[in-house]
């Protein structure tokens, strides 16, 4: 295999894994745009969803798709409940307080899952066929391709939902100006609750996809933190930016792993974050409204 096709394969695989990262990024961006809080528990919610899926398939003997739908429903309910019990009482408090609350939430979910399921790695059954695809001499594993397809479909679905559906428009209105939205008759509490539920839904899909291709363990939650890099790069409040940046970070990660050694993969996203924050803190697509002091 020539130098160039190795490069092409690395870039392609990176971009495909960036697709799933874009789902996680969407989960962050939804909550940030909708409620103004960065949800540090996205990784844990994602992990919880994947564990529920696994429990559904293995412990309750459900068919995979039913377990998947079941975990989505449960996570949406849990997310809505979290919004009601934790975030709403803190509404109007400083950003730092909300941030710390989500860190606390992450700690609770992480500990809870570990207490129930232990620290072992499980391999849940995949939702998708695992037939690999070849383009020239580039081989793409089926799971990677399938994950990317699902992620892409879901993201397109979300974009359409926000663009055209009534509920989507209500959510966007709440995000851009809660007070005016409330005046116009939008139930903003319900809108924020829906935002959380949707964020949980996207996160769970990402969690199940990742878990079925690389295995399920409490470490899964750490994946989401690396995605923060992509979000900062794209701009915290831009859905399009989050998606593009996820693809970029996926490619950069794959290139770093391929050419600088596998271990650098874990730090490269964070170095990107530090550089971006110093040079261009509002990201590529974000609003330039960050206060500079």
Q: How far is the CB of 275 from another protein (least distance, A)?
A: 9
**Footprint (CB under 8 A) of another protein, residues 76-105:** 86, 89-90, 93-97, 99-101, 103-105
| CB 233 to another protein: min, Å | 11
From 166, 179, 263, 289, residue interacting with another protein (rule: CB under 8 A): 263
Q: Does 289 bind another protein (CB under 8 A)?
A: no
* Candidate list 8, 11, 64, 110; residue touching another protein; CB under 8 A: 110
Q: Which range in 10-18, 53-61, 180-188, 223-231 contacts another protein by CB under 8 A?
A: 223-231
In 38-165, alpha helices (H): 42-58, 64-82, 95-117, 142-164
Which tokens in the block code for residue 27?
């989960």
Confirm if 241 and 292 have CB atoms less than 8 A apart: no
What is the CB neighbour count within 10 angstroms for residue 190? 13
SS (H, E, C) 202-264: HHHHHHHHHHHHHCECCCHHHHHHHHHHHHHHHCCCCHHHHHHHHHHHHHHHHHHHHHCCHHH
DSSP β-bridge partners for residue 134? 139
Task: Collect all residues with Cβ–Cβ distance below 8 Å to 8 and sequence separation of at least 6.
Answer: 138
Task: Single out the segment in contact with another protein by CB under 8 A; choices: 16-24, 124-132, 184-192, 262-270.
Answer: 262-270
Would you mind telling me the total number of residues written for the chain in this entry?
Answer: 293
For another protein, which is the closer residue by CB, 119 or 129? Answer: 119
Measured between alpha carbons, how far apart are the two ends of the chain, in Å?
A: 52
> Does 228 participate in binding another protein (rule CB under 8 A)?
yes
Q: Which of 58, 60, 66, 107 binds another protein (CB under 8 A)?
A: 107
Binding site for another protein (CB under 8 A): 32, 38, 40, 86, 89-90, 93-97, 99-101, 103-115, 225, 228-229, 232, 236, 263, 266-267, 270-271, 273-274, 277-278, 281, 290-293
């Amino acid at each position: 295999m020539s130098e160039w096709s190795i490069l092409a394969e690395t870039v392609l695989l990176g971009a495909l894994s960036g697709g799933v990262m874009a789902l996680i990024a969407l989960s962050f961006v939804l909550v940030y745009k909708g409620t103004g809080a960065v949800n540090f528990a996205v990784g844990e919610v994602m992990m919880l969803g994947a564990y529920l899926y696994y429990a559904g398939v293995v412990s309750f003997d459900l068919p995979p798709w039913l377990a998947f739908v079941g975990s989505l429903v449960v996570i949406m309910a849990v997310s809505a409940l979290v919004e009601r019990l934790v975030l709403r009482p803190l509404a109007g408090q400083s950003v730092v307080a909300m941030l710390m609350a989500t860190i606390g939430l992450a700690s609770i979910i992480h500990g809870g899952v570990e207490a129930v399921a232990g620290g072992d790695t499980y391999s849940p059954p995949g939702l998708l066929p695992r037939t690999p695809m070849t383009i020239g001499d580039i081989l793409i594993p089926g799971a990677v391709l399938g994950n990317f397809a699902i992620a892409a479909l879901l993201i397109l679905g979300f974009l359409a939902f926000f663009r055209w559906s009534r509920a989507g428009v209500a959510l966007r209105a709440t995000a851009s100006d809660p007070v005016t939205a409330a005046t116009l008759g939008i139930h903003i509490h319900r809108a924020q609750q829906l935002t959380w539920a949707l964020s949980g839904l996207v996160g769970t899909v990402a969690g199940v996809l990742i878990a079925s291709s690389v295995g399920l363990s409490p470490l899964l939650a750490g994946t989401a933190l690396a995605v923060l890099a992509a979000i900062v790069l794209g701009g915290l409040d831009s859905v399009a930016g989050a998606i593009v940046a996820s693809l970029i970070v996926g490619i950069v990660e794959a290139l770093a792993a391929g050419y600088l050694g596998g271990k650098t993969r874990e730090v490269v996203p964070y170095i990107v974050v530090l550089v971006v924050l110093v040079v261009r803190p509002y990201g590529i697509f974000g609003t330039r409204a960050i206060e500079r002091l």
